[in-house]
Each structure stands twice: as structure tokens, then as C-alpha cells.
Structure 1
Amino acid sequence: MKIFFDGGCRPTPGTIELAVVVRGRATILRDQGFGSGTDAEWLALIEALRTGLSLGAEPFVLLGDCAPVIEQANRRARARGSSDDHLRRFLELAGERQPAVRYVKRSQNLAGIALQKLHPR
């Protein structure tokens, strides 16, 4: 199962909003605190993980378009500052079941597309 995630804030830093899309259904969470774009991406990834875990034993992959967060979640890059805190929360939530976290282009990220619809140009 594919679970798409994306987070953002306007302005940056600013109020965080995030989206998770699974099985064609978008869940958008607004007013998720104050932070940077990176904080928003981490919170979206953590929400996507919660969503996947809540759906049961079916294997899932988490798909997002923020390469630095994905590299850190996969332990291929060092997380510093608030990213380190977010990584610890992510790993604690994942437990023994380390989910696949993969990069997709912005144009293919259904969660990013859902967030973009909130802010037409």
C-alpha cells in the first residue's frame, strides 16, 4: 500500500499544515503548531506512519518529496536539531517495524497536490 505525505507552512517558519493520502483519500490537518518547512515534513511523515500502522498488518510504503527528511528517516543522513527530535519520535512509533520511506517527485506526490489545492495561485 502506498501512503503519500507532505507538509508545509506559510510563511516559513509559520503555521504548519500537512496532508496524508492513502487509497485515494486525502486527510489534511491544519494548524499543527509553528515551525519550519522541515518540521512540517517530519510531522507529515509521522502522521503517515501513524496512518499506516492504524490500517493493520498490510505492508506499506511512505512516499514524500522532501529528500533530506527521507534520507534522515532511512538513517542515510544525520538528523540535527529539531530533525533529531522528530527522527526519535518516528523511530519510537515505528518500533521493530521499520517502514519503507521513499522519495517521489513533487508532481507525483498526491499529498503535495492536495496541499497545493488549499493555496491556488
Structure 2
Amino acid sequence: MTLYFDGGLRPGPGGMETAVVAGGEVHLRDDLGPGDSCTAEWLALLAAADLARAAGADDALFLGDSRTVVEQALGRWRCRNAAMQPHLAAFRAATAGIGRVHLRYVPRAKNLAGIALARRHPR
């Protein structure tokens, strides 16, 4: 199962938003409250992990354009920010039942979830 994920931060009271694209379907979450872009990216990855688990995926490929989140989730970069460590732990717990978990960085232009978020906010 391939899942694209992206988180965004918009000015105003709604704050963070996430998008996950899986199987050609876009899953959006709005108004996640105040935060920062890194938190929004982690929330998007967690939403993708929840979708994979709910679908009963045995093999999941998560594609995102946040190199920091991808590398931290892979364990190649240390998660130094104490506020992000619970997200890392939640991701590991959410994917524990999935046989094979793969994460890969993709450029923004190839991230279907990022494209879905950008379409919501034309410039």
C-alpha cells in the first residue's frame, strides 16, 4: 500500500491541516489547531499510518516531502525536539502491526498529498 502524506500550516485559528493520498483517494483533516509545520508533518504521517493499519496493510510505503520527519521516523536522524518525540513513538506503535514499513522522501512536486493541500489554497 502506498500512502503519500503532507502537513501544512495556515494562518488563522484553524492552524494545521493534513492530507493523505492512498489508492487515489484524498483524506483531508482541517482545523487541527495551532502548531508548527514539523508537527503538521508528523500528524500527517500518523494519519497515514492509521489509514494503513485500518486497511490491514501488510506492506506500507509512506512517501513525504519532509526530509526531517522521514529520516527521524526511519531512525537515521535523532529526534532532538522533545515535543516531537511522542509523535515518533506514536508512529512506531501505529505501524508495529504492519509487516513491512518503508518510508521515502519525495520532492514536493511529486508528493500527491502536498499537491492536494496546495490545490485547496490557490495563490
Tell me if TM exceeds 0.5.
Answer: yes
Give the equivalent residue in structure 2 for 1:92.
93
Aligned: 1:102 with 2:72:
no
| Structure 1 residues 96 and 31, CA gap change in structure 2 (3 angstroms) | same
Q: Equivalents in 1 of 2:71, 2:38: separation in Å?
A: 13
SS in 1 for 2:15: strand
Alignment match, 1:31: 31
Q: Distance in 2 between matches of 1:65 and 1:45?
A: 11
For 1:69 and 1:94, the matched residues in 2 are separated by 15
Runs of 4 or more consecutive aligned structure 1 residues displaced over 4 Å after TM superposition: none
> What is the aligned-residue identity percentage?
43
Q: Tell me how far apart the structure 1 counterparts of residues 96 and 11 of structure 2 sit (CA, whole Å).
A: 34
1:96 Cα deviation (Å)? 5.1
Q: Distance in 1 between matches of 2:11 and 2:101?
A: 31
Structure 2: which amino acid aligns with 1:111? A
Q: What's the secondary structure of 1:117's corresponding residue?
A: helix
Q: In structure 2, what is the Cα distance between the partners aligned to 1:51 and 1:94?
A: 10
Q: Which runs of 5+ in 2 are unaligned?
A: none
Map of 1:115 onto structure 2: 117
Which amino acid letter does the alignment assign opposite residue 53 of structure 1? R
Q: Deviations over 1:29-82 (max 9, x none)?
A: 001122100000000000001101111144220100000000000000111221
Quote the residue 1:21 is aligned against. 21
Please, what is the CA RMSD of the aligned residues? 1.6
Measure the CA separation in 2 of the matches of 1:86 and 1:60. Answer: 18
3-state secondary structure, aligned to 1:82: coil
Relative to structure 2, which stretch is displaced further, 54-63 or 73-82?
54-63
Alignment length, in residue pairs? 120
Structure 1 stretches lacking a partner, 5+ long: none
- Distance in 2 between residues matched to 1:60 and 1:114, nearest whole Å: 20
